[in-house]
Structure 1
Amino acid sequence: MAEFMTETAERSAVVPRPGTSGERAGRSGDGAAGPLDGQEAAALLERTRALVDPELRAAFASLPGSMRRVALYHFGWQHADGTPAAGNAGKAIRPALVLAAATALGGPAARAAAVRAAAAVELVHNFTLLHDDVMDRDTARRHRPTAWTVFGDPDAILAGDALQALALRMLAEDPHPAAVPAASRLAACVVELCAGQHTDTDLESRAPDDVTLDEVLVMAEAKTGALIGCACAVGALYAGAGDEEVAALDGFGRQAGLAFQLIDDVIGIWGDPRNTGKPAGADLAARKKSLPVVAALTSGTPAATELADLYAKPHHGQDAEAAAEIARTAQAVERAGGRDWAQAEAADRMARAVQELARAVPDPEAAGGLLALAEFVTRRSS
């Protein structure tokens, strides 16, 4: 285990800023992720889409037409008019983690058995995206208009509900002995996700100086870490793992998921819209109390006071003056230390994730797929 900790800590120590060369740096022993890591993760994600997409398409075929068209549009497989599209269905990170965890603990046979469960996890993830877009009034996802902007709120919400139901039905009809505990874990995860989303929306209505960093970290673990941890745990269940291994993989996923959310929040402020598919500064315009923002607000610096004043005023408009105001807000977050804190905290959470993973999978080679995926999501720019 000591060898595992040394090797993986070196690989996970640095989380570069989006847009820097660190995203594609070599695996050279300097702590940067390497092309082998990126290539390994890309291959895992591509293989996951090839395995999971047929399961998803078959599940969509059972939906009523009104909900099916929204689901197919959301996944990028149809245009709004119902004609076929070859769009972006997402990176498939969560189903890839299911399959990687099953492989790490049970080999190829466990991976093959877990494909339906991986599809179920992807359905739950997309159920949350459909609902989040409605609640957050986000107008773009995956480089195209969000479902609610095309079909309206009711259709988008109902399609999300249908995806959640499909996920649980897929597990209910799976004869594998792990299907029942996996369904139970996934259902509990959905409750946690809803609680996290409720906290998130509640925080948005509170004054900038009335939100603590601990609150936002707990909320982020519930909203993001819970499903990533659940994905890893479901994979472990399908490999026949014991309770301690399942718990350790859940812990790995939760910590890696929190690192993911930290980087996602950084990208939400400083990411390039050409990569993210979302308008520049959308989170700041919505006055979201993301992790870098709250870290900045609670820093006690002059920039924190400036940021609180900016956040106390609603953002309006799409003109040059509005864009300049967003730029000033982003600069205030950075000067107050929010960006640096988020980068450092993401690296720390990845180190904790490595510790959890070592408990369940002591062999670094067997854990390679899980590590490659975790490194991929914390070193991305979109």
Structure 2
Amino acid sequence: MVSLSKLSELALDRSAGGRQSLVEAVTDMFLAAPPEQVDHVSLLFGDIVLKVIGQLEDEARMALAVRISDSPNTPHDLAFHLAKDDFSVAQPMLENSPVLTTSDLVDIASTGSMDHLGAIADRRPLEEEVTSVIVDRGSSSVLAKVAGNEAARFSANAFDLLVEKARAHPQIQEALIGRNDIPEEGARRLVSFLSEELRRRIQEMGGDNTLVNLLAERAAQEVHAQVRDLGSAKNKADMLIRDVKARKRPVDDAVNQFTKGDRPVDLAMLFAELSELPHESVARVVFNPEDTVLNILCRANGVSDVAYKNIVMMRAKRLKLTTKDLNDAFTRYARVQRGDASRALQAIKERMRKAS
């Protein structure tokens, strides 16, 4: 341990180097103090260092902070002073010092830089009072860090704000999905804007937590809605086909609606009903690369050249037709006469009757 005479000698040296040597000496004395002397040495250490700390270079303050950051005996006033210093000095104190209180952390989080907030966000544990300030002030990277800190605790209001801020920042969303303490209402809002990739990762996590359960519930609701929508769409399609068959609506109305909605099954049903042919047979015709039979069905049932172009465009997506293919298809259809098509359709129906 450094002798008192040596300390007195160092105290007389008022140069920057002398002040650094003094601080190093009393730090050595503080860290080496036996348990029975630690309280007394700690008071002496804090008193000396706080008196000269304003005269220390950045490097000296950084070295001091690193050496005492994890000590439970560091004088509180010194720990707080270093934690509010420039970030290069404050970082080890903010990350490790057990001496800093919740009130200290709230104070520093309220006025410190984003780097200071980021260091605090990693502390374990982290109380609600501190996280509320971080969520209010923090950048997206700081919020992602505090959201990923499993030992951080959040008030209901802080969680609400954090989830709302996550809407525009996928990195915060990614951190939040690993938490098990998100309130149900906040979790519902979070799930509503998560990407498919993050939803998949939640499902892979498994277990019994709010997000997993909400995704399962949401998936069931979506399936139910799809089934309901499919049923509604089918009913509407059936009504439209009936109207066309009863000549209440022109055939082009149905063709345009089914093609623009990319609904080949309904289109096939339309021509099957109008032509009195089996649906499965017509369904094969709709996407057969050879379009002779399709041209017969369309022209015989009064599909205009304009509406037929919509059929060709729908076919083009799946058959990968070129521009030349499209133009050739339009030309072939324009050459088909309705009378010829009607006779050809009767011949097709006759062959099918004989075959059955």
- Per the TM superposition, whether the score is higher than 0.5 is no
TM-score by length of 2: 0.20
With normalisation by structure 1, the TM-score equals: 0.19
The structure having more radius of gyration, on CA atoms, is 2
